């Protein structure tokens, strides 16, 4: 058992932090009732966590290389546990959002170190077994989140979706202390604090502007100022990254000489938004307008996608990696678009089962897109930059989820209020129409990503074939694509 303590520690921690991306989704209506939260406040409950993950993931990896992966993983787990306790004790929506952001910081420290810990702990056949099990655990987290959230919310209350993290964190800490040895990366690794701060400000400001625009109007002073702050911070980020000797994101990877990498990062944002960011709003429709419980919402709103993705990934994983990435990713995005359009046919009399066929099709697309996109991003850059490329992929995916929730929230709110519903029947009709518009936009976003990939991506080999023949250690982020 001691031999596999590192795998158990990493798997427990990663499962917990990835479950928390989706476990909150089915609890949103209960949180809204208990804390008197607005739709904008609910969006920040999701986006605070995703933004924190995206903002400090790359910086956490550099810090772990310098200070020690085991130490950073332990600190991240403690921060995650304490933030979970604060989430459970939140007296209002603002407190909950702040605690979720802190939770995301802890999660980023954990996620940034997991693959490196496994790479150091295992070699040869054991390494393959470890990464296989870790990848399966990550896939299971996507399915377990909505179901666990539904069960806890319906039978114990929404605060238990955070309290359950405490004993899980203790287990992760115990196995880490017992079985993970300390390791470090490059001696010259530096924390890019200016880059992290400017990136965080830019991402948070544009997300705030998208959420605020739906409430106050797109030409309101607060919305325009927020967009201005986001643009200024982005310019500052580019300037900082171009001048620092140790950037958290080497902008040369986005040069015209490597258009495939830039397109893949853009596609990561679009794919994550199109495939996952609408789920909170279908959940709201299922619970608040159809009267389904949290468990039913979890089963109907996410399980079909997760199950289809797991089965398709297991059955066709090797085949996907043998096909040119632009075809696998491009056609997978087309499937995601088709699934969104299939769901966007709700009527005032529709039930939750109307979502299932479309969710299954989206799941098939997700199985093709996400693993292939990760390996293609590694193959699109020099081998010595593979760690940064894998971290960037996760960063842009989390950013895509955060921005997607903000955009879809504005669409949902505008369509819902434009109907001026006065009766339960008219409210249900308005909600169905609002969800249809969200899903339609998600479909077009996926199609835009497919067009970009099919036209511009030219990477033709999987990551492991692109590595030098003398390489004996896999790229440190070779399996990080499994993270949701």
Output the DSSP codes for 373-396.
Answer: HHHHHHHTS-GGGHHHHHHHHHHH
Average of per-residue pLDDT values in the chain: 82
Output the DSSP codes for 27-92. Answer: GHHHHHHHHT--HHHHHHHHHHHHHHHHHHHHHHHHHHHHH-HHHHHHHHHHHHHHHHHHHHT-SS
Same domain, 384 and 295: yes
pLDDT band at 371 (very low <50, low <70, confident <90, very high): confident
Residues 174 and 235 in one domain: no
- 376 with 402, same domain: the answer is yes
Q: What is the pLDDT of residue 442?
A: 96
- Residue 177 sits in the same domain as residue 217: no
Where a domain ends, among 189, 205, 231? 189
CA–CA dist 226, 101 (Å, integer): 19
**Lowest-confidence segment of 86-95, 274-283, 317-326 by average pLDDT:** 317-326
Helix runs in 156-276, H state only? 160-163, 165-179, 193-216, 221-243, 259-276
Same domain for 107 and 171? yes
Cα dihedral sign for 465, 108, 185, 121? negative
Report how far residue 46's alpha carbon sits from residue 26's, in angstroms, rounded to the nearest whole number.
Answer: 11
Q: Is pLDDT at 474 greater than 60 in this prediction?
A: no
- Measured CA to CA in angstroms, residue 474 lies from 110, 378, 388, 465 at distances of 20, 11, 14, 11
Say whether pLDDT at 156 is over 80. yes
- Shared-domain flag, residues 240 and 165: no
Band the pLDDT of 479: cuts 50, 70, 90: very low
Q: Collapsing DSSP states into helix, strand and coil, what is residue 428?
A: helix
Separation of alpha carbons 79 and 234, rounded Å? 28
Among the ranges given (64-68, 148-152, 273-277, 363-367), the one the predictor scored with the smallest mean pLDDT: 64-68
- Give the CA distances from residue 210 to residues 86, 175, 214, 272, 302, in Å, rounded to whole numbers and listed in that order: 27, 42, 7, 17, 25
Q: Is the pLDDT of residue 437 over 50?
A: yes
* Residues 124-146, mean pLDDT to the nearest whole number: 71
Name the token pair of 255.
Answer: 């040069």
* Percent of the chain's residues with pLDDT above 90: 27
Distance CA 7, CA 459 (A): 32
Other CB atoms within 10 Å distance of the CB of residue 255: 11
Contacts of residue 153, defined as CB under 8 A and 6 or more positions apart, other chains included, come to 26, 27, 30, 160, 161, 294
Per-residue pLDDT tens for 453-472? 999 887 544 443 444 433 33
Select from 216, 207, 205 the least CA-distant residue to 417. Answer: 216
How far is the C-alpha of 211 from the C-alpha of 182, rounded, in Å?
42
Same domain, residue pair 19 and 162: yes
292-349 pLDDT per residue, tens: 888 888 888 778 888 888 788 777 666 766 788 889 899 999 999 999 999 999 998 8
Q: Are residues 2 and 91 in the same domain?
A: yes
The whole-number pLDDT of residue 103 equals: 94
What's the Cα-to-Cα distance from 253 to each of 54, 258, 387, 427, 465, rounded to whole Å? 18, 6, 12, 49, 20
The domain that contains 455 carries what CATH number?
1.20.1250.20
Number of domains the chain contains:
3
Residue 336's H or E segment, with its range, is helix 325-343
Q: Which domain holds residue 38?
A: 1-189
**H helix intervals, 380-473:** 386-418, 424-456, 463-466
Distances (CA, A) of 269 to 105, 262, 350, 398, 420: 20, 11, 30, 8, 33
Please tell me which residue, 431 or 479, carries the higher pLDDT value: 431
Cβ 20 vs Cβ 107: under 8 Å: yes
5-9, 14-18, 114-118, 206-210: which has the minimum mean pLDDT?
114-118
Q: How sure is the predictor about 170, in pLDDT bands with cuts at 50, 70 and 90?
A: very high
Domain end residue (candidates: 168, 189, 210): 189
Band of the pLDDT at 79, cuts 50, 70, 90? very high
Q: Which residue has the higher pLDDT, 318 or 432?
A: 432
Looking at the fold, whether 213 and 184 belong to one and the same domain comes out as no
Better pLDDT: 333 or 60: 333
159 in the same domain as 204: no
Are 185 and 473 a contacting pair, CB within 8 Å?
Answer: no
Q: Hey, CA dihedral for 297, 300, 303, 305, is it positive or negative?
A: negative
Q: Are residues 215 and 278 in the same domain?
A: no
Please count the CA atoms within 13 angstroms of the CA of 299 that sit on its side-chain side.
9
pLDDT on residue 473: 39
Q: What tokens appear for 438 in the block?
A: 């969200």
Residue 200 has pLDDT above 80, yes or no: yes
| Sequence-distant (≥ 6) Cβ neighbours of residue 219 within 8 angstroms | none
Residue 477 CB coordination number (10 Å): 27
Tokens read off for 403 = 């921005």
Q: Are residues 321 and 213 in the same domain?
A: no
């Amino acid at each position: 058992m001691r031999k596999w303590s590192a795998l158990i520690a990493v798997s427990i921690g990663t499962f917990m932090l990835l479950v928390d991306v989706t476990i909150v989704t089915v609890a949103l209506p209960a949180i809204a009732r208990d804390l008197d939260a607005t739709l904008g406040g609910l969006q920040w409950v999701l986006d605070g966590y995703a933004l924190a993950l995206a903002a400090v993931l790359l910086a956490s990896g550099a810090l772990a290389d310098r200070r020690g992966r085991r130490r950073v993983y332990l600190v991240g787990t403690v921060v995650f546990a304490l933030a979970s306790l604060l989430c459970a004790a939140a007296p209002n929506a603002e407190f909950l959002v702040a605690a979720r952001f802190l939770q995301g910081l802890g999660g980023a420290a954990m996620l940034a170190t997991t693959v490196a810990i496994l790479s150091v702990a295992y070699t040869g056949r054991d390494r393959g077994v470890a990464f296989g099990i870790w990848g399966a655990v990550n896939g299971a987290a996507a399915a377990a989140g909505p179901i666990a959230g539904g069960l806890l919310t319906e039978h114990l209350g929404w605060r238990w979706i955070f309290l359950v993290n405490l004993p899980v964190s203790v287990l992760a800490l115990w196995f880490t202390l017992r079985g993970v040895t300390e390791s470090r990366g490059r001696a010259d690794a530096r924390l890019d604090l200016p880059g992290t701060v400017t990136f965080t400000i830019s991402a948070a400001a544009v997300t705030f502007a998208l959420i605020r625009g739906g409430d106050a109007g797109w030409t309101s002073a607060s919305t325009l100022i927020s967009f201005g702050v986001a643009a200024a911070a982005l310019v500052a980020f580019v300037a900082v990254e171009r001048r620092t000797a140790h950037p958290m994101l080497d902008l040369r990877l986005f040069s015209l000489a490597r258009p495939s990498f830039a397109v893949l990062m853009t596609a990561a944002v679009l794919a994550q938004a199109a495939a996952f960011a609408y789920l909170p709003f279908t959940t709201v429709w299922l619970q608040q307008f159809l009267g389904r419980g949290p468990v039913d919402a979890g089963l109907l709103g996410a399980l079909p996608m997760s199950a289809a993705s797991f089965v398709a990934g297991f059955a066709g994983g090797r085949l996907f990696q043998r096909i040119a990435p632009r075809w696998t990713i491009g056609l997978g995005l087309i499937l995601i678009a088709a699934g969104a359009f299939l769901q966007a046919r709700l009527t005032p009399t529709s039930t939750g089962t109307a979502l299932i066929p479309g969710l299954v099709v989206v799941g098939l697309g997700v199985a093709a897109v996400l693993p292939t996109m990760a390996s293609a991003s590694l193959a699109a850059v020099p081998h010595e930059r593979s760690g940064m490329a894998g971290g960037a992929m996760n960063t842009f995916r989390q950013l895509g989820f955060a921005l997607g929730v903000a955009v879809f929230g504005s669409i949902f709110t505008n369509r819902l209020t434009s109907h001026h519903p006065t009766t339960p029947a008219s409210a249900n009709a308005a909600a169905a129409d609002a969800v249809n518009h969200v899903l339609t936009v998600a479909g077009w976003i996926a199609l835009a990503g497919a067009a970009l990939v099919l036209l511009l991506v030219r990477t033709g080999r999987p990551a492991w074939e692109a590595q030098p023949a003398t390489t004996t250690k896999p790229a440190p982020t070779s399996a990080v694509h499994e993270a949701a």
